[in-house]
Amino acid sequence: MKNFDEDRFLRIQTGAVRLARPIDEAIAAAIAAGADSLFFLGTGGAGILMEPATLLMAEKSLLSTFNIKPAELVLTGHKHLSSKSIVVVPSLSGTTKESVAALKFCKNLGATTISLVGHADSPLGQGADFNFVNFAEDDTSCESFYLQSIFIALSVMKARGEAPDYQRIVNELAMLPALMLDVKRAIEPQADHHAKAIAASGFHIISGSGSTWPEAFYYGMCILEEMQWIKTRPVHASDFFHGTLELVEQGVSVMLFKGEDGTRSLVDRAETFARDYTDAVAVFDTRDCALPGISDDVRALISPILLATMFERISAHLEVLRNHPLTTRRYYKKVAY
C-alpha cells in the first residue's frame, strides 16, 4: 500500500483497544461516585470524532450527554456541568489551547476529568484526573479516537446497567485493528481512482447521516479543506433538501457516506436525487467491507471508523497526486490567531 506502515497502524489501533479496560475502571469509579452527566469537549476535528459516541449515548442511555465546543463552554458555562459531571477532553497533541483552558475550567468546578491524548508529556496528558495516552499521528488518529470515545460511552452504559452486551461488543471491537487493515487492502486498488476524482474538482458536496455524518464533516473540513485546500460543502443528509440541493448540477461532485445504522435511508434519498442531476456521484458504503466475526449491531456502531480507515488510503494517494503533502499548512499553527 502506498506510503503505509502496516505494523505502525496495527500498533496504534491495538493501543486504542487496550485502553478499554482502564477506561472502564475510570468510568465505573466516576459513576459509582454519583456522576450525572457526560461531556465530550474536543476542539476542531477531535470534537467531531466524539460525535458517534455522543449519538450512541443519546440513543441508548438516559444519562445527559453533551458534545460541546470548549471555547464556547469557557465563555458561557453550561447548566448541566458540575462537580458530578464526567468531562472527556481529546487532543492528539495534548496542547490545544482551547481544550487546555476547558480542562482547567472543568477542574475548577470539581468535575471528573479524562484526557485522551497522543503524548503523555503535554498539558492535557498530565492535567486530568484520568489520562489515557495512545500515540498516533494525523493519519491514524481518527480510528483511535473513535474507538476510545466508544469505549467511554459503552463503559458509562455498563456502569449504569444500560449495556447488557458490553463484553460481547468490546470483544468484537478488539478484532478491529486486523480487520481495518483488511479494509485498507481491499480499497487500495480503487484508492487512486477515487483520489483522481477528488482532485478533478475544486468543490465537493459531502453528505452522511447518523454516525457517518461526523466522518463526512470531518473529511470535508479537516482533510480536504485543511490539509488539501479543496473547498467542500459538508451537509447532513437530512438537510440536503433544505438548501444544498440547489447547488447540484452536471459536473458537481457529490460524495455520499453510507453506514449501517437506522438512518441509512436518508443517504439513499440524497443519492437518488443526486444521480438524476449530476454525473459525479461517489458512494462510499461500509456494507462493502468484509468483517468476519462482527455482528450487525457492531457494524452499525463502527461505520465511521471503517470510513475513516478507507479514506486514509484515498488521502494517501491524493496528496501524492496533487503534490500537496497532508502536513502542509498556510495558517494552522503557523501564524498567530
Q: At what angle do helices 20-32 and 138-159 cross, to 10 degrees?
A: 40
What is the pLDDT at residue 138? Answer: 86
Q: Give buried/exposed letters for 94-125 (b at 16+ CB in 10 A, else e).
A: bebebbbbbbebbeeeebbbbbbbbbeebbbb
What is the pLDDT at residue 288? Answer: 97
Q: Total domain count for the chain?
A: 2
Q: Are residues 182 and 232 in the same domain?
A: yes
What is the pLDDT at residue 49? Answer: 98
Q: Are residues 278 and 261 in the same domain?
A: yes
Domain final residue pick, 149, 173, 197 = 173
Q: Are residues 184 and 303 in the same domain?
A: yes
Phi and psi, residue 87, nearest 5°: -120, 125
Q: Give the CA distances from residue 237 to residues 215, 233, 243, 270, in Å, rounded to whole numbers and listed in that order.
A: 13, 12, 11, 6
Phi and psi, residue 147, nearest 5°: -60, -50
Q: Are residues 158 and 199 in the same domain?
A: no
The answer as to whether 127 is a domain residue is yes
Amino acid at 69: K
pLDDT tens string, the chain, 337 residues long: the values are 999 999 999 999 999 999 999 999 999 999 999 999 999 999 999 999 999 999 999 999 999 999 999 999 999 999 999 999 999 999 999 999 999 999 999 999 999 999 999 999 999 999 999 999 999 988 999 999 999 999 999 999 999 999 999 999 999 999 999 999 999 999 999 999 999 999 999 999 999 999 999 999 999 999 999 999 999 999 999 999 999 999 999 999 999 999 999 999 999 999 999 999 999 999 999 999 999 999 999 999 999 999 999 999 999 999 999 999 999 999 998 999 8
What is the pLDDT at residue 127? Answer: 96
CATH code, domain carrying 79: 3.40.50.10490
Instruction: Give the range of the structural domain holding residue 15, as residue numbers without chain letter.
Output: 6-173
What is the pLDDT at residue 337? Answer: 87
Cα dihedral 202→282→306→128 (10° resolution): 30
Q: Are residues 13 and 159 in the same domain?
A: yes
C-alpha cell at 210: 447518523
pTM, entire model = 0.97
The answer as to whether 1 is a domain residue is no
Distance CA 83, CA 79 (A): 12
